[in-house]
Amino acid sequence: MDPPPESAEDVAAGIAHLVDALIAAVRVDDDRLLRDFVGWQEEALTSRGGRALLDGVLGTLERALTEHPRVVARLRAAREGAPDDPGRAG
């Protein structure tokens, strides 16, 4: 990811908020927190790359956290907008 300099701070803040939402979803064991946040971010980022930017961040987090399969399952569910609860499996 290489955002334009004028939006780099906004993108960095968005990534930080996404990580916070992931942490909250893991701590309270509720995948809806992350899925709802991702849905909201998708709408908020429409003018700046929207889903493509979000998918890039989620994919990067998935690759970075491969040693935590339940977290990766949550990220994939958020990325796909899946209604099921993959965090509870395994």
Rounded percentage of the chain residues whose pLDDT exceeds 70: 81
Task: Considering only residues 81 and 31, tell me which one the structure prediction assigns the higher pLDDT.
Answer: 31
Region class of 50: left (phi > 0), else alpha (psi between -120 and 50), else beta: left
What tokens does 42 get? 């998708």
Q: Is 49 left (phi over 0), alpha (psi -120 to 50) or beta?
A: left
Assess contact for 74 and 31: CB atoms under 8 A: yes
Using the Cα atoms of residue 55, residue 58, residue 63 and residue 68 in order, give the sign of their dihedral.
negative
Q: Is 31 in contact with 85 (CB distance < 8 Å)?
A: yes
Mean pLDDT computed over 21-30: 93
Q: What pTM, to 2 d.p., does this model score?
A: 0.77
